Amino acid sequence: MSWKLMIHGGCGAMRPDSVTPEQEEQARAALHAALDAGETLLGAGGSALDAVEAAARVLEEDPSFNAGRGAVLTADGHAELDAAIMDGTGRRCGAVAGLRTTRAPVSAARAVMEHSPHVLLTYAGADHFAREQGLEQVANEWFKIAVREAQLAKVIAAGGGFDSDIKYGTIGAVAVDSAGHVAAATSTGGLTAKRWGRIGDSPLIGAGTYADDRAAAVSATGLGEVFIRAAAAHELCARVRIGGEPLQAALDGVLAEIVALGGNGGLIAVAPSGEAAWGFTTPGMYRGVAGPDGREVAIYAER
């Protein structure tokens, strides 16, 4: 059986005329680097779980995306980070939300899965657990970049409401390994100017992240509240496992439901067979796919 890796760096209002050549070049380079990290493991017979963590770590470190360094800022000017990881074998999973000092949220999520009796840890407790696990800690200032501070100022000046030019820069990775096991990982900074401890779909198993060897591995990006209402990632897997739908048809059906509920976003998915699918309802989505037969990286709808 052949392996497959898919990644995304978020979707949203980006168009060729709204992204500078330098921004596009950096984003594409990061997508290739993330594919390199996962491909090295999968090509050597490694696990899907290791591959999605490795790919996500690369994207968390790149400020082109809303995850890790370069995450958007809360209304009070902090970065608060969410992540989840799930292994389709036995449906083991772990998640964190509201991290402020842990450099690699996706690795913190994996530590929750492997070294705690829980699935989801949040805020100061999650950072404390990550420190106990020996994960690198940084000052919250390390995550901040000037463009995110400018975005926050713009949203607050407009009254703190929804930004129609928003880019959901959540990052994610899904993979199937040569043994036919799937895994998924998702990481995000959430929404600009979020308040009240808001948590979106990314760290919620079944909403923004899900993996099941009986169906598929899924990672989402978009308006989290709607993906939560739709239980989007699990819904996609249920359409495949119970409804018998082809993977792409199931993904398209879930996105249609997201739109019907008033949301927008994108999904990536891989099946144990190696079949892969992606889709989005916005002008663009940073995305890439790699397998033994080559790779593709794209941003806009027209690729």
Residues annotated as catalytic are 170
Decide if 2 contacts 292 (C-beta within 8 A).
yes
Collapse the DSSP code of 10 into the 3-class scheme (helix H, G, I; strand E, B; otherwise coil) and give the result: strand
Instruction: Spell out the residues 6+ positions from residue 39 whose beta carbon is closer than 8 angstroms to its own.
Output: 5, 51, 290, 295
Inter-axis angle of helices 247-260 and 232-241, to 10 degrees?
Answer: 140
Taking a C-beta distance cutoff of 8 angstroms, is the pair 274, 291 a contact?
Answer: yes
Burial of 248 (0-12, 13-18, 19+ CB in 10 A): middle
* Dist CA 160 CA 141 (whole Å): 22
Locate 95 and state its tokens.
């998640």
Burial class (CB in 10 A: 0-12, 13-18, 19+), 23: middle
Structural tokens at position 264: 């927008």
What is the number of helices (H) and of strands (E) in the chain? 8, 13
